[in-house]
Amino acid sequence: MTIPTEQLSLITPDQPAHRPADDAVRLLLFNAQHASPERSRRQAAWTAAQEDADTAVFTEVSSTHGGDALVTALAERGYATVTAPQPPSPDYRTVIACRTASARPVQSPVTVTPHRAPATRVTVGGHDIGLLGLYVPSRGPKEQRNVAKRAFQDAVTEALPKLHYAFPDMPVIVAGGLNVIERGHQPPHKVFGAWEYAFYDSFQTAGLTDAFRRPHPERVAHSWYGRSGNGFRFDHLFVFTPHADRVLACDYHHQAREAGLSDHAVMTLHLGLTSPSAQEGTASSATTS
């Protein structure tokens, strides 16, 4: 049974394993790998046990029983707000879950398959944060190779510069599975075309910074591994460049993948609510007063 987002508040939740922080955004990105209902419930339990998961973005969520089980289990595990758009026909979707009740879904700026790109405004410690989740289609079957992927990527590229208007005067996080890699990726993968690298570049063009690259400019990291064992950095987190100095930590973690909960590593992000310079200014004022 599909549970509409607006009815999730009727579910009596368990006490959350961790209280949401009020001094930083703690976000976890998880590829659900179109899980069955049983594995979806285990994914929700694992996520709720993570201190880093005040906000959790799930990609590759099914539109059928597995996805419904994930949405329900998250609400039962203490996630007070779950944004779970249902596609008009069978397709993967993206789900955003927040431990705080002060999260409000907003209209997605992505006009093509917007159920893959939900948007939410979250209030943390009195600060508003904009959040866009993304799940880019794979290359697709031979007869429709790259059609859905290119259409969605084009819509995202068009939407990214509009995030300043959708979320005025606040930090914005874009979190998702992009199914593309950055230029200079190690190891190199010849399968990707110029249009796919250009999609990754479009985030920087729109004024966003790769949050992982902020603390790790040279580190080789992978979030998914092919049958040959070669690694790909497919999962990404971006923040508005003016707020990039607020990235306190951003990394990949493989425990869930190694436990069979997903075939992807999860990502975590800690984003400070104020810039380091503002914090230093406040401390300096307190010292001299």
Residue 283's pLDDT is 45
Among 93, 104, 100, residue whose Cα is nearest residue 68: 93
Cβ burial of 61 (10 Å; 0-12, 13-18, 19+) is buried
Mean pLDDT for 118-132 is 97
Q: What is the pLDDT of residues 184-222, one digit of tens each?
A: 899 888 878 899 999 999 999 999 999 999 999 999 999
Pairwise CA distance, residues 29 & 49, whole Å: 14
Cα 214 to Cα 68, 102, 167, 179: the distances in Å are 35, 28, 22, 21
Residue 84's pLDDT is 95
Which pTM does this prediction carry? 0.90
In this predicted structure, the answer to whether residue 96 has a pLDDT above a threshold of 70 is yes
Beta strands in 172-226 (DSSP E): 172-177, 208-210, 224-225
* Fold annotation for 5-288: Deoxyribonuclease I; Chain A (3.60.10)
Tokens of 150: 């290119």
Residue 6's pLDDT is 40
Cβ burial of 146 (10 Å; 0-12, 13-18, 19+) is middle
Residue 16's pLDDT is 62
Confidence label for 101 from pLDDT (cuts 50, 70 and 90): very high
Mean pLDDT for 149-164 is 97
Residue 285's pLDDT is 47
In this predicted structure, the answer to whether residue 1 has a pLDDT above a threshold of 60 is no
User: What does the radius of gyration of the chain's CA atoms come to, in whole angstroms?
Assistant: 18
Residue 143's pLDDT is 65
Query: Mind giving me the DSSP string for 104-119?
Result: EEE--S--SSGGGS-E
Helix (H) or strand (E) holding 120: strand 119-124
Tell me which long-range contacts 99-105 makes (C-beta under 8 A, separation of at least 24): 99/16, 99/18, 99/19, 99/20, 99/53, 99/54, 99/55, 100/20, 100/54, 100/124, 103/55, 105/5
Q: What is the pLDDT of residues 212-261, one digit of tens each?
A: 999 999 999 999 998 888 899 999 999 999 999 999 999 999 999 999 99
Residue 15's pLDDT is 59
Confidence label for 139 from pLDDT (cuts 50, 70 and 90): confident
Confidence label for 13 from pLDDT (cuts 50, 70 and 90): low
Confidence label for 280 from pLDDT (cuts 50, 70 and 90): low
Confidence label for 14 from pLDDT (cuts 50, 70 and 90): low
Residue 141's pLDDT is 66
What is the average pLDDT score of the chain? 90
- The domain spans of the chain are 5-288
Q: What is the pLDDT of residues 38-62, one digit of tens each?
A: 999 999 999 999 999 999 999 999 9
Residue 18's pLDDT is 86
Mean pLDDT for 157-175 is 96
Mean pLDDT for 262-279 is 89
